[in-house]
Amino acid sequence: MNAVPDVSPAGTAGSSLAALNAWVAEVAALTRPDAIHWCDGSDAENAALVAGMEADGTLIRLNHETHPGSWLHRSDPNDVARVEHLTFVCTPERDDAGPNNHWMSPADAHAKIDALFDGCMQGRTMYVIPYCMGPIDSPLSRCGVEITDSPYVVANMRIMTRMGAPALARIEREGRFVKGLHSTGELDPERRFIMHFPEELTIKSYGSGYGGNALLGKKCHALRIASHQARNEGWLAEHMLILGVTNPRGETHYIAAAFPSACGKTNLAMLIPPEGYRKDGWKISTIGDDICWMRPGKDGRLYAINPEAGFFGVAPGTSRKSNPSALASIQSNTIFTNVGVTADNQPWWEGLGEGEPAIDWRGEPYDAGKRPAAHPNARFTVSARQCPSWSPEAENPEGVPISAIVFGGRRPSLVPLVFEARDWTHGVLVGAAMGSETTAAATGAVGVMRRDPMAMKPFCGYNFADYFAHWLSFDDGSNRLPKIFHVNWFRKGDGGDFLWPGFGDNLRVLEWMIGRVKGEAGAVETPIGNLPTAGDLNLDGLELTGEAREKLFGFEREGWKAEFDSIGEYLDSYGPRMPRALKDEQQRIARALAG
């Protein structure tokens, strides 16, 4: 084995980084890399890493005339999505992880995964990545350090976080950070685990190079570990987009919205207003498309930051029609993962609507009868600043004030286009009861309806019952809490077609929400919440059938009776930890539906 160089970055001898240096030395002794590189986040460092990856085939240069500075990465065919069944939350007590998580005791988990890490970086370079989740000077931000043997991870973390010297300086000032250890290992599905140790603020991931399994600042830190931190420190770490809606009077309202993966979060975050709205002066600004950290401000309102600096978006379905802002964002300086390519080496995916694929995501000649050109969970990684609708408020260290929180999922039947929760407790129940059809973002069957509370089922780092109690705790009389809504863009008619056009027309629903926040929009009270009538929304220019109006704005009492029986059973599945207030709310609505 080659001699491993000094593990300390320049200038840190005897500093408050002693704990970091000691941990890096401990990991080096376990993994035995040939070299150690401390990442500074510089352009020169990134250029050298990219050149090395191009040389060994990790990255493939795309057409630099049409997509300058952009690259293609093909992951192992068995490593293309989150692996929820191999993802563990490791707490001393099983009940603290809850039935919503796979559990392993910390001692057993460390032993199992450390045996895999033993000597795994021989012949490789170990990269030490200091990073900050959130604006570098924000009191809402939190820092971490990921150790990895993947230069692909380094390149992606540089885009997705505030990575390098400024983050290291903040870690030195604060003396605290989340520890993340990652190795691609052998990319063997039988030797793959993602372990979280919330009480130790530690993540260990082995055997995967895919996105959220390997970019440990993303779901692992920003949601699973951060949700645990948030409960202890009095804030919320959520799987939510953040967007600003500015009306013709120049008033901007910020909305946080939770949807399961691949249910249109990025499209909504970058919404393009319909032509009539644009002419009237409506504007959308993008703060974030995936993760939201919220904390009560001095005025009692919830203030939110996007802890990420980039987008790790789903490519298939992204087009000039569905999301022109996302498409504009990824024309340069983008890392594409598992997309197809055209004959002239441009990235291509199903739903793009232009060009023709020549090579599929596995690097083989495209054959429509064999497999799609792009994997259904193919991704792009790009700086958020490249988005045409990106807002400088994304860098506001104090965050942006949230006027409304939105929950939603894929429900082909029963659930109307939009309804408003009666109060905060009802809103928490609405989030807790969220259901959605599964998508390709996780391994397993697609199109199966499952409960996905607050879109956090794969990401909450502790018992859901305790998580619901934490949400309820914000309604303590001292906070000016946002209104809570539920939307369903995916309601279908009897013929199987979507009844709502979606995309830019979703602004019509956001306008109604803002009207409700301001006390200016009408609604009809029902047991499930306040529903708009078709006349309460601006539907100018839309042609909705009678069936669409009936089902998008209707209330189906018998179906909701069965739904609330199911919700009651779901809440009961968490046992005695389930907050009484949430069960009382479910029973209150069930009685109203029966009456």
Which residues contribute to the annotated binding site? 82, 210-212, 219, 239, 261-267, 290, 377-379, 410, 503-506
CA-to-CA distance for 151 and 270, rounded, in angstroms? 30
C-alpha to C-alpha distance for 93 and 559, rounded to whole angstroms: 39
Cα distance between residue 430 and residue 372, in whole Å: 36
- What angle, rounded to 10 degrees, do the helices at 106-117 and 18-31 form? 60
- Supply φ then ψ for residue 386, to 5 degrees: -80, -10
Residues in the chain: 595
Rounded Cα distance between 435 and 535, Å, is 27
The 3-state secondary structure of 206-221 reads ECCCCHHHHCCHHHHH
Phi, psi dihedral angles at 49 (to 5 degrees): -65, -45
Residue-wise burial string across 367-383, b where 16 or more C-beta atoms lie within 10 A, e elsewhere? eeeeebbbbbbbbbbbb
Beta bridge partners of 203: 180, 196
At which residue do the structure tokens 């250890």 appear? 181
Q: How far is CA 270 from CA 156, 306, 391, 498, 577, in A?
A: 21, 14, 11, 21, 38
Q: Which residue has the tokens 């039988």?
A: 190
Q: Which amino acid is at 30?
A: L
3-state secondary structure of 55: helix
- Active-site residues, by number, are 263
Contacts of 405 (CB under 8 A, 6+ apart): 240, 255, 256, 257, 258, 427, 431, 482, 483, 484, 485
Q: Is 81 exposed, middle or buried (CB count within 10 Å of its CB: 0-12, 13-18, 19+)?
A: buried
Cα 86 from Cα 103, distance rounded (Å):
10
**CA-CA-CA-CA dihedral for 183, 185, 189, 191, to nearest 10:** -90
